[in-house]
Amino acid sequence: MDLDPQLYEGLPDPVRKAWERSMTSGRAAMSRRRLLRLGTLAAGGAALTACGIPPAEGSRGGNDPEDTPDYSKKEKVLNFANWPLYIDVDEKNKKKRPTLDRFERQSGIKVKYVEDINDNNEFYGKIKPQLAAGQDTGRDLICLTDWMAGRVIRQGWAQRLDPARLPHAVANLEDRFRTAAQDPGRQYSYPWAGTACVVAYNKKATGGKKVTSVTQLLEDESLKGKVSMLSEMTDTVGLTMLDTGIDPGKFTDDDFDKVIARMQKAVDGKQLRRFSGNDYLDELNSGDIAACLAWAGDIVQLKLDNPDIEFALPESGYLFGTDDLLVPAKARHQANAEALIDYYYQPKVAAELAAWVNYICPVSGAKAEMEKIDKDIASDPLIFPDAEMVERGKNFRPMSAGEHARYENKFAKLIGA
């Protein structure tokens, strides 16, 4: 996928470098958020595009994924749909993906890798008609954010994975990822990467003051008009729930409304500058935004060029999630998909991937391998969380389709969407 150089024109140098690294040396977090927009960061820039796998024609049977024949032995191919910029890329030839290319050579499986997922809801809408009709989606492996992965699993639209074909994954999945509300026992999914939403601030813009809580974002008068929160509902609401003393893994409708009302007060009082996607990077770098909610992958990138950028894990906790690999119902090549999942759970391969995408690595043993590649990355708690960070991470509970629609509607009214 080629990227329009206009995307970077006019950006401050640290922001431009962070985006270029993320675009060419890793995954830009913005590409998994919402509608894949650059917003004010690069007005007039072209949006990223991806070519999808054409929908399958016809049905191969009923809706039970367990009765699906597997053609992996006969057909040494794999159709893998992922988010844009979420895999390692060769520095000299951007069309090459070193770890994936090596998998093809070692396994003999030809991978059709497409950056076909720009937004969870959008992608779900694309494949839902085929899944509901018991048809092959044309994809053998997909990567969805945990709450959406849970929805697909609950609807019976994911293939149960065979642990006998996943020896590395079974052995090397870090303990904190083994229990997942969206997939108890990890019968249907394995994390591609972990995600974290934290508090970030520009210490020059705050006059040296540390910003370590959502309470400060919502109530500190010295930050008034220089605070932003995210337009991603689960992250912004989840962190505010934690700050309010509510567990985002167990909240009720009343809890949700209480948190919305608290944020509405900050909106009405002009405490919040705005809700944004990844375009907060530019304003955080310049100091127009003094403090904000941020995605860890962004901050890892921006801190490399701007020493004034800091992050904090609130005492109340931060929001933790995963992007999960799963095999959709009626996929033709489940064993081939499992071979790829297992390959990426080898510590050396996992370290190579994490060195590029800069998201939390879910593979035990990868940190030791990373120390051979880049000691700074190996010591970064936003990629390899320490015990304190693991302890503070909390999940947003799975939502039914009705709940998700209701909560998103209330949040959209809050942010003026």
Condensed to tens digits (0 to 9), the pLDDT of residues 157-175 reads 999 999 999 999 999 999 9
Beta strands in 231-345 (DSSP E): 272-276, 291-295, 309-312, 318-326
321 pLDDT higher than 50: yes
Q: Which long-range contacts (CB under 8 A, 24 or more apart) does 163-168 make?
A: 165/335, 165/338, 165/339, 165/342, 166/190, 166/338, 166/341, 166/342, 166/345, 167/342, 168/342, 168/343, 168/345, 168/346
Which tens digits make up the pLDDT trace of 49-104?
Answer: 333 333 333 333 344 556 789 999 999 999 999 988 899 998 888 789 999 999 99
pLDDT value for 303: 86
Angle between helices 233-244 and 401-415 (to 10 degrees): 80
pTM of the model: 0.76
The DSSP call for residue 292 is E
pLDDT band at 12, cuts 50/70/90? low
329 pLDDT higher than 90: yes
Separation CA 350–CA 130 (nearest Å): 32
Q: Average pLDDT in the 44-52 region?
A: 33
Separation CA 309–CA 260 (nearest Å): 28
pLDDT value for 15: 53
Q: How many beta carbons lie within 10 A of that of residue 167, not counting itself?
A: 11
Q: What percent of the chain has pLDDT over 90?
A: 66
pLDDT value for 305: 86
Which tens digits make up the pLDDT trace of 110-127?
Answer: 999 999 888 788 899 999
Q: Average pLDDT in the 260-278 region?
A: 93
pLDDT value for 95: 82
More confident residue, 234 or 2: 234
311 pLDDT higher than 70: yes
pLDDT value for 375: 94
Burial class (CB in 10 A: 0-12, 13-18, 19+), 287: middle
Which H or E run contains 376? helix 375-378
Which tens digits make up the pLDDT trace of 24-41?
Answer: 433 343 333 322 333 333
Separation CA 339–CA 83 (nearest Å): 20
